Amino acid sequence: MKMHLGKVYKDGKMINHRSLLKILLNPLLRKFLGIQIATKFNIKTNEIGSPIIMKCKVGKIKWCIFSYDRDFDLIKKERRLI
C-alpha cells in the first residue's frame, strides 16, 4: 500500500500537509488529550511553517495511514518530521 504523505494540492493551491508523525500521533492525542499537532501555513507564499500544538474536540480514533479521504489533485512528497 502507498502512504499519502507530503503537501496536498487542490486546484493548484496547497490545502493540507501530511507527515507520518502527525498521522500516527494525532488520533491518540485527540482521543486522550483533546489536542493535535498542526502546521502553520502562510497563505500569501503558499508555504508551510513550523508545527504547533492546538486544542481540538475529543473524538474517536480514526486511522488514515494509507488513505486520504478528501478531494485532492496531487500530493507532492516532502520529507518532514512533523
Q: Please report, for the chain, the start and end positions of each structural domain, with discontinuous segments joined by +.
A: 6-65
CA dihedral 62, 9, 40, 63 (to 10 degrees): 10
| CA 78 to chain CA centroid, nearest Å | 12
| Alpha-carbon gap, residue 20 to 81, rounded angstroms | 7
Query: Can you tell me the mean pLDDT for 3-20?
Result: 79
Average pLDDT of every residue of the chain: 77
Q: Give 19-28 pLDDT, tens digit per residue.
A: 888 888 888 8
Q: What is the percent of the chain where pLDDT is above 70?
A: 71
Q: 20: closest CA among 53, 64, 74, 75? A: 64
